[in-house]
Amino acid sequence: MDCLFCGIVDGTVPSHVVLDEPYVLGFLDTRPLFKGHVLLVPRIHVDTLPDLPAELVPVLMGAVQRMASGVVRALGSQGSFVAVNNVVSQSVPHLHVHVVPRTKGDGLRGFFWPRTKYASDDEAQEYAARLAAALDPPVAP
């Protein structure tokens, strides 16, 4: 398998490492939205968030939480944008979480897709029920 991010994890592809932990690696995006844009990846290869073993979700999200705070402290940003793409718009098929420093007036404008509305509260409730019924049961901590 030729996975760019697996190459970064194993050190065969150069990167600017920001976070190096047993289960998570963080490095600068080579095409950042803004300077300081970090990608956090699990060291194991999984394509998407649903593929990540449940026991690694809090590990990865804990690293994301720390990085979201870190960009504020290190770069003086006012906040951060955190995002995960699953398949669609995922340029590298290895789970990665974007942590992008944000400052009011930085030029990034909200979400990049059209918004819609539910026709009624009944339609919204129908969607909510369908989604709730499709969820896997929670895993005990």
Question: Which tens digit of pLDDT belongs to each residue from 21-63?
Answer: 999 999 999 989 889 999 999 999 999 999 999 999 999 999 9
Q: Does residue 19 fall inside a structural domain? A: yes
Kindly report the CATH number assigned to the domain that includes residue 107.
3.30.428.10
- State residue 125's pLDDT score: 74
Q: Does residue 121 fall inside a structural domain? A: no
Q: Does residue 123 fall inside a structural domain? A: no
Kindly tell me if the per-residue pLDDT of 134 is higher than 70: no
Q: Does residue 68 fall inside a structural domain? A: yes
- State residue 123's pLDDT score: 82
- State residue 58's pLDDT score: 95
Average of pLDDT values for 110-115?
59
Rounded Cα distance between 46 and 96, Å, is 9
Give how many domains the chain has, as a whole number.
1
Please tell me the pTM assigned to this model. Answer: 0.83
Q: Does residue 108 fall inside a structural domain? A: yes
Q: Does residue 8 fall inside a structural domain? A: yes
Of the two residues 104 and 118, the one the predictor is more confident about is 104
Q: Does residue 131 fall inside a structural domain? A: no
Q: Domain range spanning residue 51?
A: 4-115
Q: Does residue 125 fall inside a structural domain? A: no
Residue in 119, 122, 81 with CA at minimum distance from that of residue 98: 81
